[in-house]
Amino acid sequence: MRWVREWGVVEGCFSCDQEVTIGAESASPAERIYVDGLWRVAHAFDSSLRGWLVVVPRRHVTSIADLTGAEAAALGPLLRRVSLALRDVVRCAKTYVIQFGEADGFAHLHFHVVPRMPDLPPEHRGPRVFHYLSRPEAEWLTAGARAEIARSLAARLAGG
């Protein structure tokens, strides 16, 4: 596990746990929509909204202020590319980009990139979009649905 030694991971951190497994043959396409040396894009596992993505640094960091210059420089263009891909694939009107990192096990810096669909009900717009992460597990997108969206987004991101 060369990456673990070079970059370091924090045990019990969901994002670090996923990072360790993304190279495995069994890793879900939804966990590796886009991967480069600095950032990874994944579909949220606990969302009932198609295309709810997270953009995660590949090393453990908990604050924007702790990003390296290279990580910070790559972030803006990546968020734009991800937003363009979502617009093309899920046909959203725009995207919300949100960062908190306060939940237990999820302190690893991550940005939610959430498609704001044209027909999104007014009561679920803005910060109330988190309604789609608070639904019962029975309403979450299936692994197959996430993988299908992931493959479409990955193809779009690979194309520039």
pTM: 0.84
User: Who contacts 102 (Cβ-Cβ below 8 Å, separation ≥6)?
Assistant: none
The structural domain count of the chain equals 1
Q: Convert the pLDDT of each residue in 120-146 to its tens digit.
A: 999 999 999 999 988 999 999 999 999
User: Who contacts 59 (Cβ-Cβ below 8 Å, separation ≥6)?
Assistant: 7, 8
What is the overall mean pLDDT for the chain? 86
CATH number at residue 89: 3.30.428.10
Q: Residue 120 region, left (φ>0) first, then alpha (ψ -120 to 50), else beta?
A: beta
Range of the domain at 114: 2-158
Give me the DSSP letters along 62-118: --GGG--HHHHHHHHHHHHHHHHHHHHHH--SEEEEE----STT--S--EEEEEE-T
pLDDT confidence of residue 6 = 47
